[in-house]
Amino acid sequence: MTLSGIDLAHGYYTDVIAPLLAERWPGLPHAAARLGRGSDVLGLDDEMSRDHDWGLRLTLLVRTDAVSAVREHLTARLPTEYAGHPTRFATTWHPLVTHQVEVDSPGNFAFSRLGVDATRPLTDVEWLSLTGQALLEVTAGPVFTDTSGELTAIRDRLRWYPDDLWRYVLAADWARIGQEFPFIGRTGSRGDDIGSCILTARIAQAAMRLGFLLERQWPPYSKWLGTLFSRLPRAGEAMPALHRASSADTWQEREAALAEALTLLHDLQRPLGLPGVDEVFSSFYDRPFLGLGGVPEALRDSITDPAVRALPVGIGSIEQLSDNVNVLTSPAMRLATMRSLVPNAD
């Protein structure tokens, strides 16, 4: 039986890395984990995952003044292989053959993924500059040990949005859905079936991200969005309706299935202490299409923090604003974009 990437990393730390550290620096405070990139961080690696960038990978976090020495010690002392896997190999982002133990300090490691200093409380704009994937690269993978507690403190700080900011991003997703929902029928009624299908897919994706928000779980990037959405304990129940919407032959079926999925998601709000509305969908003016009720407005009205209330209506977070991969994978570009939209908010 082939070990998962997480099991392999855990054994690698226990059998190889920990003894090498203890040999040179007994009692050195450190954290060891499987963090960063890779399907195995989310526990989703399979046979195909092993064709690139998969193997003996580990994140080792020590105090700043020890980073270089620890890295050099591992470079010199690591064995050639462990559990039948090479300890040194190339990756798509680092083509030179070298060991893949990422040695850094806790704060610098988090900054490399987030672009903000997660060793202290984040500002509203900093929160909004973060993607779910970037947060998962810090918070999702297993921690095998943390004797200093610094990594644990960072992960606790990044567990979830402050409450009012949570309401703000929820309102933004509902607003995006409401802006285009009536067009599913409008395009379909004009014979533009491909346009209706594209709009359905866009709204289904927004609905899935909404589900993650309601479950207080960070959404992954697009490759794993559907897989992990289907595993959400409550929001995942909307998956059959989303499937029907995406495969329907008529705009009427698409509209009805999406409305069913979104009504289910809306009905999760009140048990969470969030506001809801009596009528999620109603007629769009006097046209034969559905329009969204006042869900975004109810959420925005429930925000009490003046700074959050002052944020631009309907903008939300960076991944609600853009789906450009180059932007979403660049911490600096994400933060610069949000600061340009919310000046003086820091």
pTM of the predicted protein model = 0.94
What is the distance between the alpha carbons of residues 253 and 306, in angstroms, rounded to a whole number?
42
Tokens 């009536």 belong to which residue? 182
Signed CA dihedral, 38, 41, 45, 51: sign only: positive
3-state secondary structure the chain: CCCCHHHHHHHHHHHHHHHHHHHHCCCCCCEEECCCCCHHHHCCCCHHHHHCCCCCEEEEECCHHHHHHHHHHHHHHCCCEECCEECEEEECCEEEEEEEEEEECHHHHHHHHHCCCCCCCCCHHHHHCCCHHHHHHHHCCCEEEECCCHHHHHHHHCCCCCHHHHHHHHHHHHHHHHHHCCHHHHHHHCCCHHHHHHHHHHHHHHHHHHHHHHCCCCCCCHHHHHHHHCCCCCHHHHHHHHHHHHHCCCHHHHHHHHHHHHHHHHCCCHHHCCCCCCCCEEECCCCCCEEECCHHHHHHHCCCCHHHHCCCCCCCCHHHHCCCHHHHCCHHHHHHHHHHHCCCCC
Domains and CATH numbers, the chain: 5-157 (3.30.460), 163-304 (1.20.120)
pLDDT of residue 346: 64
pLDDT of residue 15: 97
φ/ψ of 59, rounded to 5, equals -105, 125
CB-count exposure of residue 159 (10 Å: 0-12, 13-18, 19+): exposed
What is the distance between the alpha carbons of residues 317 and 319, in angstroms, rounded to a whole number?
6
Length of the chain: 346
pLDDT of residue 222: 94
Q: Which amino acid is at 296?
A: P
pLDDT of residue 34: 96
Neighbouring-strand partners of residue 283:
290
Query: What are the per-10-residue average pLDDT scores of the chain (346 residues)?
Result: 85 97 96 94 83 87 97 95 90 86 97 97 98 97 97 98 98 97 96 97 97 98 95 97 97 97 98 96 91 97 97 95 95 96 76
- Tell me the CA end-to-end span of the chain in Å, nearest whole number: 51
pLDDT of residue 345: 65
CB 209 within 8 A of CB 226: no
pLDDT of residue 101: 93
The torsion region of residue 193 among left (phi > 0), alpha (psi -120 to 50) and beta comes to: alpha
